[in-house]
Amino acid sequence: MHSGRWFRRPVTWSVVVSAALLAGSVAAPLPAASDPVTAATTAEHDGARVLQENWLDARTVDLVIYSPALRTSAPVRLLLPEGWTRGADRAWPVLYLLHGCCEDADYRAWTKFTDVREFLADEDVLTVMPSGGPAGFYTRWTNFGADAPDWEAFHLRELRGILERDYGAGQRRAVAGLSIGGYGASAYAFRHPGMFRAAASFSGLLNTLQPAVPGVIKGILLREGEDPFAMWGDELLDHRTWSERNPFDHAEALRGTALYVSCGNGLPGPLDDPGSLPDPLEPAALSTSQVMIARLKNLGIPVTEDFYGPGLHDWPYWERELHRAWPMFAERLGLGVDRSGASANAVATAPTSTSPAAIRMPAE
């Protein structure tokens, strides 16, 4: 299950670090609507529309969505809860799972490299796994004035509108992600207070302006063939843009959101293959995660931390962390019982948004 490593070879992330320094399933009966659908028969929001709906089994459906915010189309995988039917007179809690960068599996990564399909099979939750691009960083790219692609608007306005209109997505939401998806989960939570009741970062870069971290980010972009200044510009000349998207700088906005932060130290651990070498990216994630934890505690904001020591920047640990974070998600999503069998506490009241059309993206 873990043969498809996120970075595949240790040398790959050595290239990233060097660039940073230079830059500074089993077939099942299908629902009736199993054929691709056209734009004329799908929900639309701000021009976004479903181009294809492809059923892989009774619970798994892949969507291809045209997005004005991206100016192209992008895929999304959904894991549907037991009993889901189109047009049902109810709404389901929603869990967004964000992938990392540089992974060919993209929106399929969580189902390819973890047991999420089996783990959530009995949970009454709609699981959403959207594409975030090879290294889209879950943000709006300034792109030298083009202001595109805008992954944030695609996920939180366009996709959300489609999910709520056509797939039964409700107002109780949680978000988790790994690596740059961990950054994305934290960024989405602070930039949209109250939209998510819980947020989890697994090996995420949570202080993008910490010394040396901008170089790591630009190194990742270089590795994927992107202009390292196309996303947010230069961290010094465009400091405001970088800061507006930095979870550490806006930790106060996370107050009221249930938070989970975890990371290893980059040394081979118990879930790694024999003979594995240390990796250079996990220590960077660990440092920013520890600084973020200290900031949250200084502000008196509760957070669950799991700094588990030896462990590479890899899927076996992120699968385990989803399991460990699940009781927090279950409680905040109002699912009633956690994995230990204990009754969950009442879901804390949190502000919720109204219709997707009413949501305003943060001012830039």
- Mean pLDDT across 282-288: 98
pLDDT at 45: 62
Say yes or no to pLDDT of 344 above 50.
no
User: Region 5-18: what's the mean pLDDT?
Assistant: 38
pLDDT digits over 87-128, tens only? Answer: 899 999 999 999 999 878 999 999 999 999 999 999 999 999
pLDDT-based confidence at 32, cuts 50/70/90?
Answer: very low
Region 326-349: mean pLDDT is 66
Q: Tell me, rounded to whole angstroms, the distance of Cα 151 from its chain centroid.
A: 11
pTM: 0.85
pLDDT score recorded for residue 364: 53
pLDDT in tens, 126-157: 999 999 999 999 999 999 999 999 999 999 99
Per residue in 204-223, pLDDT (tens digit) is 999 999 999 999 999 999 99
Mean pLDDT, the chain, whole residue set: 85
In this prediction, residue 361 carries a pLDDT of 57
pLDDT at 80 over 80: yes
